[in-house]
Amino acid sequence: MSIPPGEIVWAIMGFLLSLCIFSYLIGDNPLFRFAVHLFIGVSAGVVCVMVLYQVLYPRLVIPLLSGSATQRWVTIVPLLLSLLLLAKISPKAGQIGAIPSAYLLGAGAAVTVGGVILGTIFPQFISTINPFGNNTQGFEKIEGVIVLIATITSLLYFYFGAKLEIGKPLRRPMWIELSAKIGQVFILISLGAIFAGVYLTAISALTERLTSFWNLILGILG
C-alpha cells in the first residue's frame, strides 16, 4: 500500500504533536505548551475564517451591497450595535458599549432559558410519565417508577428550605432529608456514568490515534 508523500508529512506532524500532548504525563513542559498554543491558535484562525465567510459576508456584506431596502435597514441595526460594542475598548466610551452588551446578555439568557425548558425540562417530564401509559408492559412500568423516584428525589436534594426555630439548628424536614439521601445516590450514579463516558471517549480517541499511526507505519514499510 503506497501512501502519498503529503499524507506522510501530515501524519508525521500529527504523531509529533500527539507526543507533545502525551508529554504532559511527565509534567508541564515547553513541548506540551507549544502543542496547546498551536491548537488554540489554529482554532482561533478557523473560527475567524468561519465568521467571515459564513456570518459577516453572507449576512452583512451581501445584504448591504445587493439586498433590498428592507434587508439593508434590517442589516444596519446589528451593524450599529456591533460598532457600539467596539466602544468597550475605550474606558471613557465604555458606557456606550453597554447597550449592545445588554442586548446580547438578554438574548442569550432568553435562548438559554428556552433551550432548558424545551430541550430539558419538557423532554424529562414526558419521558417520566410515558412509562405509565396504557400500552406499556409491567417491566416498563417498574422502570417508569424508578425514573419517577429518581427525578423527584434528585430535585428534592436541591431543596434547602428549613423552618427557623429559636435555639435549634436549621434542619430540613425529615422526609426531605431522607428523599435527598436517595436523590444523592441517583446523582452519584449519573455523575459516575458521565465520568465513565468521558474516559471511554478518551480511550476511543487514543485507540484511533494508535491505529492510524500503526497503519501509517505499515504503509511506509509496505
pLDDT tens figures, 4-48 = 777 778 878 888 888 888 888 888 899 999 999 999 999 999 999
Domain assignment present for residue 114? The answer is no
Compute the distance between CA of residue 217 and CA of residue 69 in angstroms, rounded to an integer. 60
- Please, are residues 147 and 131 in contact by the beta-carbon 8 Å criterion? yes
- Burial class, 153, CB count within 10 angstroms (exposed 0-12 / middle 13-18 / buried 19+): buried
pLDDT in tens, 48-91: 999 999 988 888 888 888 888 888 888 888 888 888 888 888 87
Domain assignment present for residue 88? The answer is no
Domain assignment present for residue 128? The answer is no
- Amino acid letter at 200? L
Residue closest to 187 by CA, chosen among 144, 153, 146, 148: 153
pLDDT of residue 49: 94
The separation between CA 60 and the C-alpha centre of its own chain, rounded to angstroms, equals 28
Compute the distance between CA of residue 191 and CA of residue 197 in angstroms, rounded to an integer. 10
Residue 171, strand partner residues: 163
Domain assignment present for residue 19? The answer is yes
Domain assignment present for residue 201? The answer is yes
Domain tally, the chain: 2
Instruction: Give the pTM.
Output: 0.59
> Structural domain of residue 24, as residue ranges?
1-66
Domain assignment present for residue 84? The answer is no
Q: Among the three residues 47, 66, 85, which one is the final residue of a domain in this structure? A: 66
